[in-house]
Amino acid sequence: MKKKLVFIDGSAGTTGLQVSSRLFRRTDIRLISLSEEDRKSEQKRASIMQEADVTILCLPDSAAIRAVEKVADKDIRIIDASSAHRTADGWVYGFAELSPDQSQKIAEANLVSNAGCYASGFIALSRPLVENGFIAPDQTLIAPAVSGYSGGGKNMISSMKKGSLPPHFDYALSLSHKHIPEMIMHSGLQVAPLFMPSVGMFEQGMLVRLAIPVSHFSRTVTIHDVHEMYEEAYRDHQMIRVCGLDEAVSLQHSGQLSPDGLAGKDGLEIFCFNNPETQQFLIIARLDNLGKGAAGAAVQNLNIMLGCSPNTGLNWDY
């Protein structure tokens, strides 16, 4: 069998290194690269992108835009792991669980934009709620979240390890964040969520939460209704696990859900909690910000584009 050629542009960055680690042992793929000197040549970069079956861009937004512009007139397949093209015309959104036909769209696409890490958790929770009429599209969802510091790239990793940042901090206090446009577009919502991201003193992992008072639902629902809805939504999707209500009850008794519980894993878990007395619901997505939130998702999209099983080479088995 002829090996597929994959070029990772930005292979020395945080996401690029994680993608490489998932692919370098694969017998069906050969990674191709440029020398350090040739990487500075836009002509040689464009040439190797044409040689590759798929190019994965692990670059800052501005560099990803320039890389795509240089080959805009070529028949080239690209996965962009930056946030540059997540709401752009002509790009397929790289969250295979988005809809029943999303995997097919990814399989047929030339241009696929990886979903953002926070957005992956948020959309996994919110889209089924909107699609099934549990939440109105004009409802403002409340979404606190926490990520490991690796999401901030090499500079934040270095700063955390030096102790020059606090052990936990909120950010995006202007109530704007670069993931919000894709959160709105791909969730079915018509308004921005009240999104509150934070960073904790752990390297990899993420919790994205929806805090929902009963008054925010469009109709009367129970925790069993919500749980069954998620089970049905993700029944045929290998990379998402909807945890049982008995597991949620056990966690309620222990009072702890660790955000780094899926560090090194490439799937996503959904937990459903509620308090019958106060009629409040808490729905949580747990994932690795560098797994299903970045590199794992890129490899999942690559597998789909190459016609492989979506979880080939990924660390996820439940």
Which residues does the annotation mark as catalytic?
A: 117
| Element counts in the chain: helices (H) and strands (E) | 10, 13
List, as one string, the DSSP characters of 112-123.
EEEPPHHHHHHH
Q: Are residues 102 and 233 in contact, defined by beta-carbon separation less than 8 angstroms? A: no
Q: How far is CA 224 from the centre of its chain?
A: 26
Please give the single-letter amino acid code of residue 89: D
Strands laid side by side in the 280-287 sheet: 168-170, 194-200, 142-148, 206-213, 280-287, 268-275, 240-242
CB 217 within 8 A of CB 294: no
Q: Please classify residue 246 by burial: count the beta carbons closer than 10 Å to its beta carbon, then call 0-12 exposed, 13-18 middle and 19+ buried.
A: exposed
